[in-house]
Amino acid sequence: MSDRPENCQTSKGPWTIWRTPRNAVVLTLILTGLASCVTAAPSLACPNEALRSELHSGLLPDCRAYELVTPPYKEGATPLPFAISEDGSHVAFGSLGTFESVEGGGLDFAVEGAAYLSSRTGTGWVTSSLEPPESVYQRISHILDLDTTFSNSLWALGILTQPAGVVSLYLRSSNGSFTEIGAPTATVNVSNQTQYRYWGSSGDLSHVLFEPQGGFRWSFDTSNGTSLYEYVGTGNKTPSLVGVSGGRESTDLVSQCGTALGSALFRRPGGSMYNAISTSGARIFFTAVGADAPGCGGGTRPSVDELLVREELQSGQRQTAPISEPSLASCSAPSPLCGDARFEGASQDGSKVFFTSTRSLAEGASQDEAGGDSAIAGCPSTAVGASGCNLYEDELSGAGAGLTQKLVAVSIGSSMPQVQGVARISEDGSHVYFVAKGALTSVANSRGKTAKAEADNLYVYERDERFPEGHTSFIATLAPGDEADWEEADERPVQVSRDGRFLVLLSRADLTGEGSHEEGVEQVYQYDAQTESLVRASIGQHAYNNDGRTPTYNARLAIGPEVESLPHSYAVGDSPVASSVAMAPEDGAVFFASPTALTPQALNNQVSAERPVPNIYEYLNGTVYLLSDGRDTATVHGSATSQLIGASALGGDVFFMTADPLIAQDTDTQQDIYDARVNGGVAMPATPPGCSEDTCQGSLTPSPALPAPGSASQAPGGNLAPASPVGPKTAAKHRTATGRRAKKKHRRKRGGKAAAQSRRYVGSGR
């Protein structure tokens, strides 16, 4: 909680507002006519104020306190986070270190590391190993995914009695036991560990989707292209095909040209899998590849790419229903009225699905009949006609013979909608944020601006209790360089709260019309659909440093890891835990990273190893607060050690990494994961914790306090004192690096760790 008032005076009267525990305010009456701010302690203190002081968290907002998520002893290795739970109580990460009862040093730990889970308990964060016993399984094994509760995990394991390199899919239960789900390939007598791709699972991992490669498919699969298989439950002998027209055991392919989860085809730049598997697994949205695909060949197939849903019935049987066409055979022959459909996303429960198409499929939609028009690779790149793409919503209710569909054209209001793409869809499906070059509404936004034809206009379509028939609002016109907001598959730098109210995005444009924005540098903006207000979140605290209007480097949202290609979003697979980096907090907070000093304590445009060093910030109710310590300038493997990871769905937990010791429990020299938790904090133990092997060196002499950042790394103005530092970390004495530990050290030294781990966690199937 800050000890400074948020607003000195308001226009409604002489009141001062202080921030107290989350979403609460204390109103203190100030004498009428008082012209200056009065700095005084709020009457309601944080319930954890003593802990905040002990944990050097006194300047954090919202009664937050630092909590150390990773264990103090990590065997000299850097943790690599790959998932956080929606409630903020679990963090999964990988590490080349071997600790927390990893048998035999971890499965192939020298190359890929071990998987760990840190969970919050009443006495702090506890880390446990997720690794299977090396005495039973081959060292080629790796984790694929976790369920939404972080109780169970999905693995590819090879048992020692099988030929080398042969793996099957296994479910790890919370008690540590492993149960086989089924083999990912038909061939199990030669190595198959690189002959399949994992595509995603239901929220409880009861439905697992994957794709075998080439000669490793089952004999009943006659596809000439990609295939999509499914396992339900455990103990399966053979999988079932998803892209079929018949029941559970059907092999009648809708298209022999291929089947894709969502619109995720390798020939589709930016294809989406956003909630293509419903939370329960009962609905799977897939694309049947059309005959216009290169090298398709003959056989059954539609003339264009069609979107369909595979639905599991209560009886255990399954049925397939068309989404983008009136029937499965409606576009089986080439026709100028047929056009490829592109899956854009769905609600978590599968009750609403969104797609784009050049076809007129619902009232108010346009029909683009220009030759070659298609949504196949994204509407902007191939829709050459004047009308371009439409955006549709299909609402599904009932099941089986009682399945009903309500198809609605979202992008109405212009005969030339020219939808460019979808920015984000809320998890409940009530809001879809999209970009279109058509002027779909003439109603101005809260700043008096209106949509411009042929410009990249950002809209929100809302259909919920407030607007049961649907309502479109214009938000802002984006910059030409903002294409990543709608074209970067599911790694778009855009977040939406679970209920759709809040949108957070990056933009190079001056969306709020402040006049002095540094063009070409990405800033953070927040839109509130309830109030229809748009604000810049990357502002200066009390207008500090020119109110952050002229940044030198881009800001960043927690949309994925610093390590490129590491699965941490829907871009690699429809993982049950992927939503954590796509959601904005429901309370209106915004968490972001920026090298610009937005508070007096922050680093300002500091560069280390030729890369800008980020500060971690929170924006809430018009004010920005520093969450990191504003001191960490270290780098590891060419990246800054200070990194934003993500936040819980409600915003009570925000996770970031730093090499600085923010609390006294942090005693090593490595990066650690921290949680800045509302009403958080864990009391220091009365006695030192137990030691690991020969790491106990007796009591340590307190190190001198680190100096505050100097003017070279500080923006001009402001001199608020930073929180008292704990002091430099003390390096633990590790075991001699011989044998395989020497190999591990060598791999880390040459930078191979990040590349090796990038194929290991959440969505990795190879």
Calculate the CA dihedral of residues 415, 420, 424, 429 and round it to 10 degrees: 30
pLDDT (tens digit per residue) in 477-519: 999 889 989 887 788 889 999 999 999 999 999 999 887 666 6
pLDDT (tens digit per residue) in 278-305: 999 999 999 998 877 777 777 788 888 8
Pick the closest to residue 346 from 287, 269, 416 (CA basis).
287
Domain ranges across the chain: 1-45, 132-241, 247-390
DSSP 636-648: ETTEES-EEEEE-
pLDDT tier, 752 (very low <50, low <70, confident <90, very high otherwise): very low
Q: Are 19 and 2 in contact (CB under 8 A)?
A: yes
d(CA 582, CA 494): 7
Amino acid (one-letter) located at 702: P
Give the number of other CB atoms < 10 A from CB of residue 745: 17
pLDDT for residue 734: 29
Q: Which of 40-54, 356-370, 556-570, 626-640 has the highest mean pLDDT?
A: 626-640
d(CA 410, CA 391): 5
pLDDT for residue 732: 29
d(CA 587, CA 502): 9
d(CA 83, CA 134): 24
pLDDT (tens digit per residue) in 561-593: 444 333 446 777 899 998 878 899 999 999 999
d(CA 57, CA 665): 14
Q: How many residues does the chain have?
A: 766
Strands (E), 501-606: 502-507, 523-528, 533-536, 583-584, 590-594
d(CA 279, CA 511): 35
Tokens of 730: 């003390």
Pick the closest to residue 53 from 582, 543, 723, 674 (CA basis).
723
Name the average pLDDT for the chain.
Answer: 79
d(CA 569, CA 591): 17
Beta-bridged to residue 459, according to DSSP, are 434, 474
Pick the closest to residue 613 from 639, 587, 583, 592 (CA basis).
639
Q: Angle CA(512)–CA(516)–CA(517) in degrees, nearest 5? A: 60
Looking at residues 450-459, what average pLDDT do you find? 95
Q: Are 168 and 192 in contact (CB under 8 A)?
A: no
Q: Angle CA(561)–CA(564)–CA(570) in degrees, nearest 5? A: 65
pLDDT (tens digit per residue) in 605-632: 999 888 899 999 999 999 999 999 999 9
Q: Which residue has the higher pLDDT, 526 or 466?
A: 526
d(CA 319, CA 310): 6
DSSP 308-346: EEEEE-TTS-EEEEESSSSSTTTTSS--TT---EEEEEE
Q: Does the structure show a pLDDT above 70 at 103?
A: no
Pick the closest to residue 596 from 662, 518, 538 (CA basis).
538
By CB neighbour count within 10 A (0-12 exposed, 13-18 middle, 19+ buried), where does 258 fall? buried
pLDDT for residue 372: 52
Strands (E), 3-88: 15-19, 25-29, 64-68, 80-84
Looking at residues 21-37, what average pLDDT do you find? 32
pLDDT tier, 270 (very low <50, low <70, confident <90, very high otherwise): low
Q: Does the structure show a pLDDT above 60 at 4?
A: no
pLDDT for residue 84: 92
Beta-bridged to residue 27, according to DSSP, are 17
Give the number of other CB atoms < 10 A from CB of residue 507: 26
Q: Does the structure show a pLDDT above 50 at 755?
A: no
d(CA 61, CA 346): 35
